[in-house]
Structure 1
Amino acid sequence: MSLSSITFFSHPLFPTLLPSLLSTLVSLRSISIRCTDSSNSGGKLLLQSDLDIASSSLDLHLHDLQLLLPLLFKPTGSRGESDLDEANAIVLSHPTPSSSKEDVSLFVRDLFARLVIGDAELKKKALDSLLRLLLECGSIAANLFVEEVDINCLIHLLDSNNQSSAIRELAVASIAALASTSEVSRKVIFEEGVLGPLLRLLDSGSTVSREHSADAIATITSDPNNAWAVAAYGGIAVLIDACRSSTGGSTETRKKASSSLRNVVVASVGGDTKEAMVEEGAIPVLLEMLGDSDTTIQKNSAHCLWILASSGESFRVLILKQGALSKILQLFHSCDNPELMEHVLRPLHVLSSSISAAKTLSGSLVFLSRLADLIGQHHCQHLAASLLFNLSISDDAKRLMAGCMGALVKMMMELPKPAGSHVIAARVLVSLLSIRSNRKELSKDAKSMTRLVQMLNPKSNDGLSKNLPVSVVLALAEDRGGCRKRIVAAGACQHLQKLVELDVSGAKRALQRISGGRFKNLFSSITWRE
């Protein structure tokens, strides 16, 4: 194959590559003349150094040519690989979702060559094409890109010292797209060390670069196997700083940075990462984020506070000392988003294990009334009931919360997830039934009484411990007269008798109590039915 059979200048990279190649060849010719000079006036060490430099330059040019030559033509198949002419010079069109894998692969290699060899304008056009390719062809293009090319060529473009701002912004946008498009490409770019450059851009890049880098970091750290590396790169302080409203970052940047912070704290197994977060000033920033106007930032903040507070008493003390309880309560009272409320209840539940926090929460009738309302909401009922169970509630508060008793009975019966919700519901209900007015109110609720009797039936509610509804019956039967009569009228006696025979704890005492102590007379006067 002769060089004349290929149209070299048909590819836009040659005008970039050829001048530097000619310069290297001229330099080599000059050095070769010096090698034949017996006097060698410049010295052997200088000559050897010049040879090494020229040789390295030539190697780079050969590498670039190897990238480029396969893109200049394609074999016809019938004429043989060496029989090529200008008619076979490739003009690449942008692939579509219906393009073959071979066409996408060839286009990817062309993009790679432009990123490695091209000038600033060609690099920008290549990055624009890459973004469009990832958007239109998805994971196929992303997987081919990381398989076919050296991904470091793209990571290198994030270096602020060597590239223009426009190129860095396009490069980091491409990295973010690769991270979100395919698990394979996300794994490859992480393993090639992209987190370090991304964190540097998040710390000191332009507004656009910071936004894209925050997006890429959030996606990469969504895999717990990757999130640990943020601390290794010294990135915790960078993420915390990016979450501050005072740093001037966009809402999108702060949203993604807060998601990354959540990913890091969730993935941290030991206490070192959490301690590092506290030392870097995470708690005040997290409390500030609770008051943000963006719901995602608020959720991420509450989630981080929950994980930190769950990590030990020392963390809870630090969080409470910085005024966390009042900040969380402010969001609790203003929140009308069920999903956000679920996130707010988690740190409140954990912090309620502290004596001081529990005392504050138990003494607020406004808080307890709102908490009782939440027991009727599916998203929040388990957390709300669990939080109530942790508190010492006054009689006045119990009277105020009577309206949630029906929801607690239903919660017992439905055996909702997570496991143990029915136990919490029963115990909270028994606590509320220590007030006489509450006992009367629940016994008058026909639907709740029907549900309670159904739970007593040994043949129903598999998986429900029968001592739970029995404990509720015992609490209701504290009142003589109306409450006991309503329990009997609802049909509880026949089921309690069966539970007595099954030796269920409390069943005999409950049966004696609702029968007014006339156990034998009751059995002789009632015909038991199955």
Structure 2
Amino acid sequence: MTPQSPSPSPSETLDLILAHLLPLLLAAATSVKALVSRWRLVHSKLLLLQSSLSEASLARNSLSNPLFLDLVSSLHSTLQTLHSLSSRCLDPSLPTGRLLLQSDLDIATSSLTLHLQDLSLLLKSGLLSHKQHSPHAIVLPFPGPTSSKADIVLFIRDAFARLQIGNLDIKLKALDSLLELLQSDPAKLSPVVTAEGDVPVLLRLLELSTHSHLIDRAAAVVSLLSTSSASSCHAVFNEGGLGPLLRLIESGSVTVRHRAAAAVEAITIDPARAWAVSAYGGITVLINACRSGSGSPSSLQSLVVSSLKNVASLEDVRIAIFEEGGIPVLVKLLASDNIDVQKSSTLCLWSLASAGGDEMCVAIIHESGLPRLLQLLYSSSDRELLENTLRAIHALSVLPSAAKSLSSSPLFFSRLAEFISRGGISNFSCQQIAASLVADLSPSDDIKKSLAPCMSPLVKMLEISKPVVMQETASRALVSLLDVKSNRKELVRDEKSMTRLVKMLDPCNDQVSKRPVVSVVLALTSIGGNGARKRLMETGASQFLQQLAESEVAGAKKALQRLSGSRLKNLFLLGRS
């Protein structure tokens, strides 16, 4: 038995290609008698290969790069096939058949084109000039805390080269390397990965036809890039990542759907990108992922409904949510046991109700949205959820039917009283919305009487300079409550509140807008003989109102007339006695 000759080394194979196979093929490509036009194309590609391969052979340590070694081996096989095909094309009669030979040549040419692309990638990446720490390394050594930026960049380029050139195992290891790198410092390294890597290559791995393990790891990398920094998130969006991510939410495994949903949520935070969700048909995808029976766990629903909340600020998207049946889905999510789902659902419903017009408000009411929101308002203790819920209820209260229902509920106003009385910096938003609801609704006098303890906190709200709307809201709520005579008497007996009101009238106090305070004074001094005028006169309100009237502050002249009328009447009574 004749012993087999040993396989040539990579160096010998490279020399064989450069010194023998390529010159032979270049000559053959110009000598063929059949399929001449196709061989001209092959000839041009062989010239490019000769140039690129010569450049690669001169690289410092290319023969220790495993990707290059695999490429040399594949090239050798492809060139041998082309040599065999060139021999068959020397006979113009083509005894083996034209169609078969043409097909074989096209396949070999395609392989040659792919090899050229891979070789070009390796040359551009600079990997062939880098000395490997080990000639058998699958990936470059992982950059440590003290690694230079150049080392990190080279590591990233190496990983992306493997994603394009390597087999399945190499691609998986490359994705693992990228994931490990990003996890070590996501905010810092995400922009570097998107700047130095090839994001479109990464996104192509998200296609549903890709191997499931590749999709899983690629989704993890894309999710980190999207959620770690603004620039890397923008890079994912700019390279067309939103479409594949939405498809994964619809059709991926549970883990992949989570990762894709996290990326979509991050992308849609920016309104300049949020519009694209509708363009990709993503509204239907997001709504379906939130439906009961969709198989979506609450953690996934939380991410998806947050994306809906992000895009609901856009008019076209709001219409799409409405038309795709999103309102019933969002209302049902209010009963979720996941508080993040509830927060995003309430915000989304608020956006639809406040900017979507009466039609959307009616739809929310029709789906029992108001009772479910009230249930959250009564049962929750989470400040953010309560604020979102109040906003949604306030937006719905513009409908007469909702306003009537809310105005007749002592329990609802009791809850509003808690928000107003609690105050404090952390509750300013809830306090303001609650005060606005008190001002806008029309509760009975009995309910207004029950809200008397709120008047002192509302007076304090008048002193809050920012936001300016806080003073106006507090004033409107106080005016509403002071419509009841017993409440006017109650406020007059509150010395601290009366002192505050008078101090706020002082023109030198420029932290407080005067018109809202004057409105309260007018309401307080309305007909009723409650002692308010006398109390205001005693605390020096007249001089302040005189100055405000001279400055033409709305209502100041009328308030001054009421106080002056009271003083003249007292003088007249004293004269008669």
Task: Give the equivalent residue in structure 2 for 1:79.
Answer: none
Once residues 489 and 86 of structure 1 are traced to their aligned partners in structure 2, the CA distance between those partners, rounded to angstroms, is 93
The answer (yes or no) to whether the contact 1:512–1:518 under 8 Å persists in 2 is no
Once residues 99 and 55 of structure 1 are traced to their aligned partners in structure 2, the CA distance between those partners, rounded to angstroms, is 42
Task: Give the equivalent residue in structure 2 for 1:273.
Answer: 317
1:116 aligns with 2:164: yes
Q: Cα distance, 1:246 vs. partner?
A: 2.8
**Residue 31 of structure 1, aligned match among 79, 82, 85:** 85
CA change 1:254–1:126 in 2 (3 A) is same
CA change 1:240–1:403 in 2 (3 A) is same
Superposed, 1:434-513 pairs within 5 Å as: 434-462=483-511, 464=513, 466-477=514-525, 478-480=527-529, 482-513=531-562
Per the normalisation by structure 2, the TM-score is: 0.81
Once residues 534 and 567 of structure 2 are traced to their aligned partners in structure 1, the CA distance between those partners, rounded to angstroms, is 14
The CA RMSD over aligned residues, in Å, is: 2.9
**Residue 74 of structure 1, aligned match among 109, 123, 130:** 130
Once residues 469 and 350 of structure 1 are traced to their aligned partners in structure 2, the CA distance between those partners, rounded to angstroms, is 26
The answer (yes or no) to whether the contact 2:485–2:528 under 8 Å persists in 1 is yes
Deviates more, 1:8-17 or 1:51-60: 8-17
Once residues 341 and 443 of structure 1 are traced to their aligned partners in structure 2, the CA distance between those partners, rounded to angstroms, is 33
Task: Give the equivalent residue in structure 1 for 2:453.
Answer: 403
Deviation track 1:23-65 (CA, whole Å, cap 9, x = no partner) reads 4233212211111123312444543443232112112112223
Which ranges in structure 2 are unaligned for 5 or more consecutive residues? Answer: 1-10, 16-56
Task: Give the equivalent residue in structure 2 for 1:372.
Answer: 417
**Residue 151 of structure 1, aligned match among 199, 211, 214:** 199
**Residue 65 of structure 1, aligned match among 115, 119, 127:** 119
Which ranges in structure 1 are unaligned for 5 or more consecutive residues? Answer: 76-83, 526-530
Once residues 254 and 142 of structure 2 are traced to their aligned partners in structure 1, the CA distance between those partners, rounded to angstroms, is 30
Q: Cα distance, 1:190 vs. partner?
A: 1.2
Once residues 492 and 409 of structure 2 are traced to their aligned partners in structure 1, the CA distance between those partners, rounded to angstroms, is 28
**Residue 307 of structure 1, aligned match among 346, 351, 358:** 351
Once residues 85 and 279 of structure 1 are traced to their aligned partners in structure 2, the CA distance between those partners, rounded to angstroms, is 60
CA change 1:245–1:490 in 2 (3 A) is farther
Task: Give the equivalent residue in structure 2 for 1:186.
Answer: 233
Once residues 106 and 55 of structure 1 are traced to their aligned partners in structure 2, the CA distance between those partners, rounded to angstroms, is 31
The size of the alignment, in residue pairs, is 510
Superposed, 1:311-330 pairs within 5 Å as: 311-330=356-375
Deviation track 1:96-139 (CA, whole Å, cap 9, x = no partner) reads 34322211111111101211122222222111110111122445
Task: Give the equivalent residue in structure 2 for 1:212.
Answer: 259
- Matched letter for residue 273 of structure 2: N
- Matched letter for residue 379 of structure 1: S
CA change 1:179–1:85 in 2 (3 A) is closer
Once residues 233 and 520 of structure 2 are traced to their aligned partners in structure 1, the CA distance between those partners, rounded to angstroms, is 54
Task: Give the equivalent residue in structure 2 for 1:518.
Answer: 567
Once residues 133 and 497 of structure 2 are traced to their aligned partners in structure 1, the CA distance between those partners, rounded to angstroms, is 88
The answer (yes or no) to whether the contact 1:114–1:126 under 8 Å persists in 2 is yes
Task: Give the equivalent residue in structure 1 for 2:21.
Answer: none
CA change 1:504–1:379 in 2 (3 A) is closer
The answer (yes or no) to whether the contact 1:175–1:216 under 8 Å persists in 2 is yes
- Matched letter for residue 317 of structure 2: T
Once residues 85 and 333 of structure 1 are traced to their aligned partners in structure 2, the CA distance between those partners, rounded to angstroms, is 65
Once residues 219 and 210 of structure 2 are traced to their aligned partners in structure 1, the CA distance between those partners, rounded to angstroms, is 14
The answer (yes or no) to whether the contact 2:463–2:511 under 8 Å persists in 1 is no
Once residues 276 and 89 of structure 1 are traced to their aligned partners in structure 2, the CA distance between those partners, rounded to angstroms, is 52
Once residues 91 and 373 of structure 1 are traced to their aligned partners in structure 2, the CA distance between those partners, rounded to angstroms, is 62
Q: Cα distance, 1:265 vs. partner?
A: 1.2
1:346 aligns with 2:391: yes
CA change 1:226–1:499 in 2 (3 A) is closer
The answer (yes or no) to whether the contact 2:64–2:136 under 8 Å persists in 1 is no
Percent of residue pairs identical: 49
Task: Give the equivalent residue in structure 2 for 1:334.
Answer: 379
Task: Give the equivalent residue in structure 1 for 2:143.
Answer: 95
Task: Give the equivalent residue in structure 2 for 1:141.
Answer: 189
Deviation track 1:362-421 (CA, whole Å, cap 9, x = no partner) reads 00011011112212332312211222222112100100111111111111121231x322
